[in-house]
């Protein structure tokens, strides 16, 4: 019978030695997904820090939710439980997940983004493509098992810089740096001419050399 070898292969495939139990995958569902809110998984972005050169961080009023707006137009959301007053030492015992709601300002009204349901192991989420030049508002709420009530949501607002504006800023920075370098050289040249050719001593030296 081929059944025992197949079962052995399945067991070996399920036991992945490279899997790290300390970093579980983040399961999530996108409410407005055209595929019917199918379940997806993403690895956690542990250890990410927003650098001043390529990122701008926006924190919610309560401090639990942080939106890291990257230079490429994507937004990495990070959050923790201690700002919601989660019980210690095992806050995940009653935690059932998170609910993320998104909206952005249009010209005359506010448009809803896709709502996302995230698992209890999730501590970050990536908005891969955000509209440039509009103001976003994202609210995150943890969900606990009864009888514990759901705490209030924490919200963060930010504006993504348009891609064209980012290119203009980079180009202006490069041009401005080149102009500054040219001005420095011109000032040094003028100072050299003034010191060596226009002074009386320099004029007498030039006349003596001519004789």
Per the structure, the count of domains in the chain is 2
> In which domain, by residue range, is 184 found?
162-195
Write down the pTM of the prediction: 0.62
- Tell me, what CATH number does 110's domain have? 2.60.40.10
Phi, psi of 103 (to 5 degrees): -150, 160
DSSP string over 70-85: ETTS-EEEEE-SGGGT
Which helix (H) or strand (E) segment holds residue 5: the answer is helix 3-14
In a domain, 142, yes or no: yes
> What tens digit of pLDDT does each residue of 89-125 get?
455 568 899 999 999 887 777 788 878 999 999 999 9
Condensed to tens digits (0 to 9), the pLDDT of residues 150-193 reads 788 999 999 887 764 444 444 455 555 667 777 777 777 777 77
């Amino acid at each position: 019978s081929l059944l025992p070898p197949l079962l052995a292969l399945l067991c070996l495939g399920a036991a992945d030695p490279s899997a790290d139990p300390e970093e579980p995958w983040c399961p999530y569902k996108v409410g407005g997904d055209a595929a019917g809110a199918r379940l997806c998984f993403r690895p956690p972005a542990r250890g990410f820090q927003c650098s001043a050169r390529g990122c701008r961080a926006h924190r919610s009023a309560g401090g639990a939710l942080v939106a890291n707006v990257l230079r490429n137009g994507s937004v990495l959301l990070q959050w923790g439980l201690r700002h919601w007053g989660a019980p210690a030492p095992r806050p995940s015992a009653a935690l059932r997940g998170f609910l993320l709601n998104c909206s952005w300002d249009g010209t005359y009204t506010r448009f809803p983004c896709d709502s996302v349901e995230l698992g209890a192991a999730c501590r970050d989420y990536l908005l891969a493509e955000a509209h440039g030049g509009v103001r976003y508002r994202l609210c995150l709420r943890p969900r606990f098992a009864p009888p514990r009530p759901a705490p209030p949501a924490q919200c963060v607002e930010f504006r993504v810089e348009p891609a064209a504006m980012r290119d203009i800023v980079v180009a202006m920075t490069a041009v401005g740096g080149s102009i500054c370098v040219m001005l420095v050289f011109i000032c040094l040249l003028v100072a050299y001419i003034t010191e060596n050719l226009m002074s009386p001593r320099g004029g007498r030296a030039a006349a003596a050399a001519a004789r």
